[in-house]
Amino acid sequence: MVLDIDGQLWSIAYFQHVKPGKGPAFVRTKLKNVLTGAVVEKTFRAGEKVTDVRLERRPVSYSYTDGELYYFMDTQTFDMIPIAGEMIGETQLKYLKENMECEGLVHDGKVLNVELPFFVELAVAQTDPGLKGDTAQGGTKPATLETGAVIQVPLFVEEGEIVKVDRREDKYLTRVSK
């Protein structure tokens, strides 16, 4: 959910409804600025009015980067949309590859930010060979993906294979192809 507070857009990262023994109930929140990525804590009293904003989601495709800005193409209008790397976030950037289909968050006709899919399919660029019977450490090994992200994969995964990853948790899900 996105709120308009003092003319700025804030998404709710966390909230907790508190009913103290004395006094009225209130909601404690952590808000993230949609444009700058800044996180603040704010408390709302019971009955306090806020304006919620509906962000439209539009398909965009990643094209390229010039080092600072990442350029996405709006697949409906074919416009190029530059977005700063800090806005996208380091946790998403390590899974971003060319021609990846993403979702643009749109407000008043302007793309404000981009969200990658939760599950991405990437090739394993480098990993050590797994040895049969080497399960003393849980049966996993580190693997570097084509985008540079490092995740833990099962011992049977080899270089060149395509794996499905949950990018929110940096977690291997399944092998897609050999």
Domain extent, residue 76, equals: 56-115
83 lies in the same domain as 125: no
For 1, the token pair is: 């959910």
* Residue 134 scores a pLDDT above 70: no
Domain CATH code at residue 49: 2.30.30.30
pLDDT mean over 165-176: 90
Domain CATH code at residue 106: 2.40.50.140
Residue 129, pLDDT score? 84
30 lies in the same domain as 74: no
Which of helix, strand or coil describes residue 1? Answer: coil
Mean pLDDT of the chain: 87
Q: Please say which residue of 98, 115, 132 terminates a domain.
A: 115
Residue 178, pLDDT score? 66
96 lies in the same domain as 131: no
Q: Checking DSSP bridges between strand 101-107 and strand 80-84, what pairing results, if any?
A: unpaired
pLDDT mean over 153-169: 90
60 lies in the same domain as 49: no
74 lies in the same domain as 24: no
Separation of alpha carbons 98 and 85, rounded Å? 15
Q: Which of 1, 84, 12, 65 is nearest to 41 (CA)?
A: 12
131 lies in the same domain as 172: yes
pLDDT mean over 31-46: 85
Give, in order, the Cα–Cα distances in Å from 73 to each of 20, 24, 81, 93, 112: 49, 49, 6, 16, 13
Separation of alpha carbons 63 and 108, rounded Å? 23
Residue 123: pLDDT band with limits 50, 70, 90: very high
Residue 133: pLDDT band with limits 50, 70, 90: low
Q: Checking DSSP bridges between strand 119-127 and strand 110-115, what pairing results, if any?
A: unpaired
> What pLDDT, in 10s, does the model give residues 48-98?
888 888 888 899 999 999 888 899 998 888 889 898 887 788 888 899 999
Provide the number of structural domains found in the chain: 3
* Residue 131 scores a pLDDT above 80: no
Residue 72, pLDDT score? 92
62 lies in the same domain as 111: yes
65 lies in the same domain as 106: yes
104 lies in the same domain as 152: no
67 lies in the same domain as 85: yes
Residue 1, pLDDT score? 79
7 lies in the same domain as 41: yes
Better pLDDT: 86 or 31: 31
Q: Please say which residue of 53, 71, 96 terminates a domain.
A: 53
Identify whether the C-beta of residue 85 lies closer than 8 Å to the C-beta of residue 68: yes
Residues in a beta bridge with 117 = none
29 lies in the same domain as 76: no
Separation of alpha carbons 44 and 5, rounded Å? 12
Residue 35, pLDDT score? 76
